[in-house]
Structure 1
Amino acid sequence: MIKIQQNTLYGEAAARIRDMINEGLLLPGARIPEKRLCEQFGISRTPLREALKVLASEGMVELLPNRGARVMRLTRQTLEETYSVMGALEGLSGELACRYITEEEVADIQALHYQMMAHYKRKEIRPYFEFNQRIHDAIMLASRNEVLRETHSSLSYRIQRVRYSTNMIDEYWKQAVADHEAMIDCLLDRDGERLGNILREHLRHKLVVAAASGVIDDDRAASS
């Protein structure tokens, strides 16, 4: 593993650990192996612990008094509450994007969509997910609302690992692709109301599939 440069330290360490959680290398409820990560990243405990504080603020890890940290478990209640807010934010982003988006931005999103579809056809999960996320980010950017973007970003970290896991299920994957095809049509037609509804429903699909795929812990297990 490539070591972290000294001028980025805790920020890059947080990004690395975030990726490890999203990719399932650190499982829900697992203790964060601080000593091993320090060795892998080539950093001391101080920036690593600062990174863990950042991740705790994002709801990705839980800090344990005098016992380090562990990956936060995702309960149905937590996800339902988070998806409810995220759905409202993404729905609003779609409505605003259709009001303000330029032809160039629509073309850029179409290009991202074509690249995402190429990875979908080859069943390449990681790059598919990356382009999928870039499309959602581009729609959010086109909303021209910085407060909306910041609020959405602060919540999205919490559920990225669910998005990544559920995209591996064929039934959901087909539905997600169909949703994205419809999103492109809405952007071309500047149909903000329909795009907002699709984005809200898109998140509801994710919650249903996450529950079916075993990604979510039950509330009693998460509290232990």
Structure 2
Amino acid sequence: MEAGEPTSLQIEKQSLHDQVASRIRDLIIEGHLEPGSRIDEAKLVEQLGVSRTPFREALRTLAAEGLIVIRPARGSMVRKLSRADVFSMLEVLAEMERLAGRTACERASDSEIAHARDLHERMLEYYRSGERMPYYKLNQEFHTFIASLSRNETLCEIQGNIMARLKRIRFIGNSEPEHWRAAVDDHEEMMDALAARDGQRLGDIMAHHLSETWQRVKNVI
């Protein structure tokens, strides 16, 4: 293991490749597998305690998400995004989130808004306890859920594809305490707007949230 890598990677149940994909995904998001680096299959297979079959199935899943690149006869590598890649994806995603916020307020049921509130409150609990990865994963779930409230399958599909490619970028966007606090403040405003069914306000906040992400990450890509 490299310095700073998690000490416990062993998977107890080895039958599902999505468990392996989840572990590798976390290593990429947290930066233990760096952008542009080659994936050492033999090393990870041993550390994760799995056979090569579920491991390679997991790699195909992550390649479909855009997190890795599989190169025939040369192995796999962690995808490295350029500044232009990140900016263009965040720019498009901001407008997708604007549309999602506006339409969610028009189409969500009261119970769905209550569920969004529950996700938000659980995120706050992780924020208060300083648990970045659980917060991050719930944050991704929150944004995906808001998009689903639009009842627009095309929007959900495109948003999901872009979010998958930006997992590492979104994670490092909250690496500084003040940035994380600002992101939480944005989410407080999002929930207020959603509860009030103010679609214009929610869409604007969500788009601004993505614009701020670019400002936080542009100098560390």
Deviates further, 201-210 or 121-130: 121-130
Say yes or no: does 1:159 pair with 2:166: yes
Identical aligned residues as a percent: 41
Residue 74 of structure 1 corresponds to 81
CA contact (8 A) 1:3 1:41 kept: no
Residue 7 of structure 2 corresponds to none
CA displacement at 1:181 relative to structure 2 = 1.1
CA contact (8 A) 1:3 1:40 kept: no
CA displacement at 1:53 relative to structure 2 = 3.0
Provide the C-alpha distance between the structure 1 equivalents of 2:75 and 2:115, rounded to a whole number of angstroms.
43
SS in 1 for 2:166: helix
Say yes or no: does 1:142 pair with 2:149: yes
Normalised to the residue count of structure 1, the TM-score between the two structures is 0.86
Give 1:110's aligned amino acid.
Answer: R
Say yes or no: does 1:205 pair with 2:212: yes
| 1:17 paired residue among 21, 24, 36 | 24
Give 1:172's aligned amino acid.
Answer: H
What is the aligned-residue RMSD (CA, Å)? 1.9
CA displacement at 1:128 relative to structure 2 = 2.0
CA displacement at 1:82 relative to structure 2 = 1.1
Say yes or no: does 1:195 pair with 2:202: yes
Q: Which runs of 5+ in 1 are unaligned?
A: 217-224
Normalised to the residue count of structure 2, the TM-score between the two structures is 0.87
Which residues of 2 match residues 43-82 of structure 1 at below 5 A? 43-82=50-89
CA contact (8 A) 1:109 1:135 kept: yes
Provide the C-alpha distance between the structure 2 equivalents of 1:121 and 1:44, rounded to a whole number of angstroms.
38
| 2:14 paired residue among 5, 26, 42 | 5
CA displacement at 1:4 relative to structure 2 = 4.9
CA contact (8 A) 1:26 1:32 kept: yes
For the structure 1 residues 86 and 114, does the alpha-carbon distance in structure 2 shift closer, same or farther, using more than 3 Å as the test? same
Residue 107 of structure 1 corresponds to 114
Deviations 1:69-126 (A, max 9, x none): 1111121111011112211221111111001111112222222222222222232212
Deviations 1:41-73 (A, max 9, x none): 444434433432332232211223422011111
Say yes or no: does 1:95 pair with 2:96: no
Provide the C-alpha distance between the structure 2 equivalents of 1:5 and 1:92, rounded to a whole number of angstroms.
40
| 1:84 paired residue among 91, 100, 104 | 91
CA contact (8 A) 1:29 1:70 kept: yes
Deviates further, 48-57 or 161-170: 48-57
CA displacement at 1:36 relative to structure 2 = 1.7
SS in 2 for 1:16: helix
CA displacement at 1:3 relative to structure 2 = 4.6
Provide the C-alpha distance between the structure 1 equivalents of 2:38 and 2:208, rounded to a whole number of angstroms.
34
Q: Which runs of 5+ in 2 are unaligned?
A: 1-9
Provide the C-alpha distance between the structure 2 equivalents of 1:72 and 1:51, rounded to a whole number of angstroms.
15
Provide the C-alpha distance between the structure 1 equivalents of 2:68 and 2:134, rounded to a whole number of angstroms.
25
